[in-house]
Each structure stands twice: as C-alpha cells, then as structure tokens.
Amino acid sequence: MAANVALSQALAYARDLRNLYEVTRAREAEIARAHDKLRAAYQQSLTYAVDLKKTHRRLQSSILQSLLGLANALEAKDEYTRGHSDRVAALARRLALAAGCGSREAATIAHAGLLHDLGKIAVPERILRKPGPLTDDEWSVMRRHPLTGAQIVAPLEFFADGALIVRHHHERHDGSGYPDGLVGDTIPVGSRIVAIADVYDALTSDRPYRPALTVCRARERLLAEADRTLDRRLVAIFLDTVLHEPSDPSFRQ
C-alpha cells in the first residue's frame, strides 16, 4: 500500500516536472523570438542612424555651399572686392599645404578664406562703401564682422575649425588685432594663413584710394609686417614658395 502511494506521488512529481519543463521551453522560445525582434529593431535603428547622419552631413554641406555663394554675391556688388575671397581661398590653400598642413586642413582653411568676410553682410552699405575714413563708431561696427561671420557658420558642426579661423582672421601677431587680441601662436594657424593671403590680395588689388601694388612692392610690405602683424615663418613660406607656384582652383571641389 505504502509503495503504491509513493509510486503515485513520484508520478505526480514527474508530471509536474514535465509541465514545468514544457512551460520553460515555451518561455525560452518566446524570449528567443523577442530577442530576434529586438536585434532586428536595433539593426534597423543603426541603419536609420547612419542614413540620418549622412543626410545631416549632406544638408550641412548644402548650407556651406549656399554660404559660399552668398559670400561671392556679397563682394560681387563691389568692383574693388569682386573675386577677392576666391583669390584669398586659393592663396590660403596653397600656403597651408606649403606650411605642412594636410589636405583636409588645407581645404578647411580654403573654405574659411572664402567665408572670411561673410560677416560684412551685417555692416551697413554706407559704412562698407564710405569713400572717406571711418569714424570710431563706424569702425566699431566694421570690427564686428569676424564675430558675425563666425556666428553665421557656427551651426555647421563639421566646420567648427573654419568658424574659428573666420573669427580670428583679423588677429595680429603682436596682439593688436581683433576681436580677442590674441598673440603669436595662440592665433589659430588657419587664421594666420588667411590673414597673409588677405593682406597680399588687398595689396595687389586696385582700391578707390590707390592702384594695385606690384608683386615686388607687395613682397616688401609683407616682409615689413612679419613679426608685427603677420607670422614671420608663414610670410617666408608664402614669399619663397606660394608666389612661385601656378594657381590651383581645385580647392573648391
């Protein structure tokens, strides 16, 4: 009798264990399906993230191209500044490469050269085109253009270095520049490069108050500015190498 009870209990335990086993297997299969679904959703999210990143990058590149067009349009209104930024960009790129910058850094410097005066869009025409000397108040408006330009390009995350170059393109080696009065090597190298290209192109272009200087006279002026307003090492590289190279407009590609 006792043996029968024990047998019956053992069978009941076995049935319970079997049921438990089957429930556990069903749960495991459910978890495996859920895991597969989660994994697929994760992969899909990764794909979306990559697509979104590409779209974001394309959008920012389009905005940059629009700003480059805007910079050209801005200076095209004035016969004295027409083509200035294009020339500054080409010279700046060549100087950057000659000074040892990589091709990506040189491209950023060239784009910053194209955009360096974009902030002048916020300077009233009466100040921009004033034939005589500016008053102190007018100068203070004019001197805001590097900050304004940097603010315009600030939303372009991939162009953060370019924004910094635009902001500091009127800093001077001896600290007498603006907006921050940076000195020597504390000025971003891209800004020091754009400054040399900017000064050289201004010197060799006609202005309402003087004709263009010859290359020889412009060289002398750059040498005179070395260590005062411009970086001496970069001026030397510019004079010794860049001015002897054929121009290369490929920086815009």
Cis bond before residue 133 (omega within 30° of 0): no
Task: Closer to Fe ion by CB, 159 or 178: give it.
Answer: 178
Task: Closer to Fe ion by CB, 208 or 246: give it.
Answer: 208
Site for Fe ion in 28-57 (CB under 5 A): none
Stretch of 12-20, 66-74, 80-88, 111-119 contacting Fe ion, by CB under 5 A: 111-119
Stretch of 61-69, 115-123, 182-190, 218-226 contacting Fe ion, by CB under 5 A: 115-123
Instruction: State the residue number with the nearest CB to Fe ion.
Output: 117
Please compute Rg for the chain using Cα positions: 33
Stretch of 11-19, 113-121, 132-140, 243-251 contacting Fe ion, by CB under 5 A: 113-121
Q: Active site residue: 54, 77, 120, 130, which one?
A: 120
Q: How far is the CB of 120 from Fe ion (least distance, A)?
A: 7
Q: How far is the CB of 238 from Fe ion (least distance, A)?
A: 18
Contact yes or no for 169/179 (Cβ under 8 A)? no
Task: Closer to Fe ion by CB, 180 or 236: give it.
Answer: 180
Q: How far is the CB of 134 from Fe ion (least distance, A)?
A: 14
201 binds Fe ion (CB under 5 A): no
**Distance between CA atoms of residues 114 and 72, nearest Å:** 8
**Backbone φ, ψ for residue 207 (5° rounding):** -130, 160
Cα 205 off chain centre by: 28
Amino acid letter at 222? Answer: L
105 binds Fe ion (CB under 5 A): no
If binding means CB under 5 A, how many residues of this protein chain bind Fe ion?
1
Nearest to 101 by CA among 252, 237, 239, 228: 237
**Distance between CA atoms of residues 122 and 100, nearest Å:** 35
Task: Closer to Fe ion by CB, 85 or 108: give it.
Answer: 85
**Distance between CA atoms of residues 195 and 239, nearest Å:** 14
Count the neighbouring beta carbons within 10 Å of the beta carbon of residue 138. 16
Task: Closer to Fe ion by CB, 58 or 82: give it.
Answer: 82
Q: How far is the CB of 187 from Fe ion (least distance, A)?
A: 14
Q: How far is the CB of 172 from Fe ion (least distance, A)?
A: 12
**Distance between CA atoms of residues 96 and 236, nearest Å:** 13
**Distance between CA atoms of residues 183 and 238, nearest Å:** 20
Q: Which of 75, 86, 105, 117 binds Fe ion (CB under 5 A)?
A: 117
37 is catalytic: no
Say how many CA atoms lie within 13 Å of 21 toward its Cβ: 6
The residues that touch Fe ion, with contacts defined as CB under 5 A, are 117
Give catalytic residue positions: 120
